[in-house]
Amino acid sequence: MDVHEKPPLHQWFFLSMQHLFAMFGSTILVPLLTGLSPAIALMSSGIGTIAYLIVTRGKIPAYLGSSFAFIVPIITVSQGGKNLGDALFGCFLIGLMYGIIALLVTKFGVKWLDQLLPPVVIGSVVIVIGLALAGTAVDMASKKDVIQAVPTTAAQLQSLPGSIKNVDLAHGTVTLKVYSLEYFIVALATLALSIIALLFFRGFLKIIPILIGIIGGYMVAYWMGMVDLTPVIQAKWFELPKFTTPTVSWKAAIVMIPVTLVVLAEHIGHLLVTSNIMERDLAKDPGLHRSLFGDGIATMIASLIGGPPATTYGENIGVMAITRIFSVFVIGGAAVLAISFSFIGKLSALLHSIPTPVMGGVSILLFGIIASAGLRTLIDNRVDFTNQRNMVIAAVVLVIGIGGAVLKFVDIHIELEGMALATVIGILLNLILPKQDEREAIQSTTETA
């Protein structure tokens, strides 16, 4: 079924539902990890997808969902959900950056992007995105929050059973993160179900392993008494999602804008894959600039209402590759369903009732897959690590990003850390360090002299 073909009404709903389920698990996982609203994430993904289809003149069948690349910067900027408005401001500026890059692509083409972001930089940064979150995933999978009275003596402080997460002096309590075998069992069960679905299931079930893992893990957690359904019972069937608006923060902008380069590479990669599947050059018609601008519009819409930044989804590209159905009407139908689901209050409450170890279990797989995707980028592009230049770039990016290095300018309140700092340094090293042929020319000139 081609791009502008409309499916029969009795098939349309189920074809759109298939795309909805394909993106559902990943799209709601990002807000659950970052403190944003899952209902708003569904709404913004639907609105953003429709906007993208309009901007690209209905010629690119792509669904836009929550981007994993922004999990770390949103958590960093929002400080565990306390300053979500600041993070949303950074997301809005990223949408503007997409628009600026789209204009540059229109004028200068795409070769300059290849020079700025070669595979050694892209692959290394993507690895950082995954591994920087490894500690968060393990904590979610194996540690629970325990609240007790603030210790009054040094002996009591030393005897605390876990690490201190938060101290509330007003109420005289301290929140600890304590290892829990029950949590870890639920996380491992969730992880196992996701892996089984990914490796052994066939057809439609194979492309929703995360959703299967979450559902199965939820059932295990419910059986172990970790689920409280009271908020679900009390929630209304239909209610307006809770919107969050951006708050101007230039510190957030400094931290988050460099991530644009990572999702830019991801966007271009997805467009090339879609072009290969459809056997047409979408970078020319309707054009890479339109695709980038559409993604930017979707990201700005999401940030204005409280949703995570948008990106084209590989899960939905996989659905199209399997079904050979490229209809934008099917994609648009999935977007309409996502918007509709965001107004179902009981569904939103049900998503919030998912226990932390369930999300920790799927996060172990997802964050590991992100890191593996970075390795695959290096392998597929045959990055030569006998070349010391490539080795230096990758080594510096990985250690700075995974180690959480921070560059602070206290007087002007600018701070770069972790993934953002690693991306910037990776780009600078790529631009500054001489390439192999350049070094050989320098050595030859020196020897001749």
- For all residues of the chain together, what is the average pLDDT? 81
Is pLDDT larger for residue 110 or for residue 297?
297
Summarize the confidence of residues 358-373 as an average pLDDT.
80
| Amino acid occupying residue 49 | T
Split at pLDDT 50, 70, 90, the class of 354 is confident
Q: Which pLDDT does position 446 carry in this prediction? A: 52
Q: Is the pLDDT of residue 385 over 80?
A: yes
Helix ranges, 306-435 (H): 314-323, 328-341, 345-352, 356-380, 388-403, 418-432
Summarize the confidence of residues 101-112 as an average pLDDT.
81
Summarize the confidence of residues 111-122 as an average pLDDT.
76
| Amino acid occupying residue 39 | A
Exposed, middle or buried by CB within 10 Å (0-12, 13-18, 19+), for 339?
Answer: middle
* 8-state DSSP, 319: H
Summarize the confidence of residues 245-264 as an average pLDDT.
78
- Dist. CA 126–CA 69, nearest whole Å: 8
Q: Is the pLDDT of residue 301 over 90?
A: yes
Q: Is the pLDDT of residue 442 over 60?
A: no
Q: Which pLDDT does position 412 carry in this prediction? A: 45
Helix ranges, 143-244 (H): 154-158, 181-200, 209-223, 230-234
Closest CA to 234 of 337, 340, 338, 353: 353
pLDDT tens figures, 198-250: 888 887 677 667 778 888 999 999 998 888 888 888 888 888 878 888 888 87
Helix axes 71-78, 418-432, angle to 10 degrees: 120
Split at pLDDT 50, 70, 90, the class of 56 is very high
Closest CA to 261 of 47, 61, 67: 67
Q: Is the pLDDT of residue 417 over 70?
A: no
Q: Which pLDDT does position 318 carry in this prediction? A: 67
Summarize the confidence of residues 370-378 as an average pLDDT.
80
Split at pLDDT 50, 70, 90, the class of 92 is very high
| Amino acid occupying residue 151 | P
Q: Which residues pair with 178 in a beta bridge?
A: 144
Split at pLDDT 50, 70, 90, the class of 413 is very low
Closest CA to 70 of 44, 103, 50: 44
Q: Is the pLDDT of residue 415 over 70?
A: no
Report pTM. Answer: 0.67
pLDDT tens figures, 163-198: 766 677 777 787 777 788 888 999 999 999 988 988
Number of H helices, E strands in the chain: 21, 7
Q: Do the bridges between strand 163-168 and strand 173-179 make them parallel or antiparallel, or are there none, so unpaired?
A: antiparallel
Residues whose CB falls within 8 Å of the CB of residue 371, separated by 6 or more in sequence, listed in order: 126, 127, 129, 130, 131
The highest-confidence range among 74-83, 319-328, 389-398, 430-439, by mean pLDDT, is 389-398
Min mean pLDDT across 8-22, 46-60, 422-436 is at: 8-22
The 3-state secondary structure of 65-108, one letter per residue: EECHHHHHHHHHHHCCCCCHHHHHHHHHHHHHHHHHHHHHHHHH
Q: Which pLDDT does position 329 carry in this prediction? A: 92
Q: Do the bridges between strand 173-179 and strand 143-149 make them parallel or antiparallel, or are there none, so unpaired?
A: antiparallel
Q: Which pLDDT does position 299 carry in this prediction? A: 92
Q: Which residues pair with 176 in a beta bridge?
A: 146, 164
Identify the three-state secondary structure at position 355.
coil
